[in-house]
Structure 1
């Protein structure tokens, strides 16, 4: 579809701690969290999550969950014998820590069928992916994915990329830098987090991150910085937008992903980068006041329209 939006990556089974030894099961993953927000805020667009699935009951339940919320799966392959990755969240106050079981997840094979992948990305208005998307693939898979994204971009698709550096997913920093640099080459819009960029590239400030991204040829960059203001570069115009303060956050899981989804949704509606960031801050503030990575659509919409 010409108005279609595709996010690419891994949606895992999420276990979030409740009272005592009780756990709540859901679904989440960085690019899926962002697409969830886009689904809530851009109801006129068709959206697909591009990944790979197993043929197990958990994968079937995951696909059913997507369909229940009007999220398609395009031509994502089904890999016999594979299954979704799993992670558990533990909270200390509002801050979270994660434990992962994902080494043999089906999503690691999302680029295993280049023809299906290319078909999944055809005729898109927007494609969104992340450094985690790149990290879960082997070298050949990353090459296949980036070629498919570049081909879609050459046909007029807008591409957004969050570098989202997670050291545990990479063999070393040199490999991570090289892959993320390749990701930036096919991106029109970058949505990094300053702490990640500082860890990976040694950037001294969010403004230094903007300068590096400009040199890399990215036309629009939004550098998130936790509770601090975001700094934005849009065709070399630089400005800052203060964050929305939350006095008593409950769970910070997924806040940055929701910011990305709200920012992209606002830009799809024709909002300026500054207005898009204001809306995105409000949505992120709403997300940290609920448990888990996925806030209900109604909460996201209310925050976006305030």
Structure 2
């Protein structure tokens, strides 16, 4: 097994507004995560973003951006006439809100070619996806995706999943609960955020989230809780890992960067609690930048220093 695959939607991101001037970039929850996996992996380690792409100038610029930063697209389809989704970040202090234009985004067709999807996931150390990945798909494509992920798992890949519940993307709460539950039953590593789990499942405290996921068969669980400690349940142990204080200017991508750093640390052989400590350090550095993607060298430095500075 070799390589990391992340599945989902990478959008055009508008951020850092100053009057009517915006900075354009590319981001999206599972892409943000793979950005940090790329930053924290050896240059020759295969890192691929599995999605579907358009053929317009913005889509070509998007793929060029991936290539420039060492991120492949595996066998992802390029669809004639399609285009990427778009979102804008507005800030109230360091807290962010989002406005989206994504209803006809190419990524909604990422599971339309079953053979290409299966080939893209073949032979990966870790396959990562999120509840947003599920939410943007039509029901039939959602099932195709889960079947492809199940095949990858049967063939030896570890599956990592972040429920990342976003109510506006789902038809209703019942559908979200069912689909996220199906995904969790395939997961080897779960990376939920407690406020999301509280909203969707009514969990009272992070230990309730961990117990519910353990009952679904997940062996490694990290329940994130913003600036609170992360609850790590794995290998027969439970540990609360404190967050790291940061001079936050934009919390966009904090959880995604945590996930990327955590999975990178696990790929390097670190124990789950040690991986969570590294992940907190990276997330604390990331929120000190505007937008979802902090410079890769900053992420590497935070990971390597392990908050000693």
Instruction: State TM-score, norm by structure 1.
Output: 0.98
- Residue 304 of structure 2 is matched in structure 1 by 305
**C-alpha contact (below 8 Å) 2:16/2:291 kept by paired residues:** no
- Residue 41 of structure 1 is matched in structure 2 by 40
Rounded to whole Å, the distance in 2 between the matches of 1:4 and 1:301 is 19
Q: CA shift at 1:235, angstroms? A: 3.5
Q: RMSD of aligned C-alpha atoms? A: 0.7
**C-alpha contact (below 8 Å) 2:27/2:293 kept by paired residues:** yes
Any idea what SS the aligned residue of 1:264 has? helix
- Residue 27 of structure 2 is matched in structure 1 by 28
Pairing 1:195-210 to 2, within 5 Å after superposition: 195-210=195-210
- Residue 257 of structure 1 is matched in structure 2 by 256
Any idea what SS the aligned residue of 1:149 has? helix
1:226-256 Cα deviation digits (max 9, x unpaired)? 100000110442111000012x311000010
Rounded to whole Å, the distance in 1 between the matches of 2:277 and 2:238 is 15
**C-alpha contact (below 8 Å) 1:11/1:84 kept by paired residues:** yes
Q: How many residues in Structure 1 have an aligned counterpart in Structure 2?
A: 304
Rounded to whole Å, the distance in 2 between the matches of 1:96 and 1:281 is 19
Rounded to whole Å, the distance in 2 between the matches of 1:108 and 1:67 is 22
Q: CA shift at 1:203, angstroms? A: 0.2
Any idea what SS the aligned residue of 1:251 has? coil
Rounded to whole Å, the distance in 1 between the matches of 2:213 and 2:253 is 24
Any idea what SS the aligned residue of 1:165 has? coil
Rounded to whole Å, the distance in 1 between the matches of 2:190 and 2:168 is 22
Rounded to whole Å, the distance in 2 between the matches of 1:298 and 1:73 is 22
**C-alpha contact (below 8 Å) 2:16/2:290 kept by paired residues:** no
- Residue 111 of structure 1 is matched in structure 2 by 111
- Residue 90 of structure 1 is matched in structure 2 by 90
Q: CA shift at 1:185, angstroms? A: 1.1
Rounded to whole Å, the distance in 2 between the matches of 1:166 and 1:235 is 30
Q: CA shift at 1:20, angstroms? A: 1.5
Mark the runs of 5 or more structure 1 residues left unpaired by the alignment.
none
Mark the runs of 5 or more structure 2 residues left unpaired by the alignment.
none
- Residue 222 of structure 2 is matched in structure 1 by 222
Any idea what SS the aligned residue of 2:226 has? coil
Q: CA shift at 1:78, angstroms? A: 1.1
Q: CA shift at 1:88, angstroms? A: 0.2
1:166-215 Cα deviation digits (max 9, x unpaired)? 00000110000000001001110000000000000000000000000000
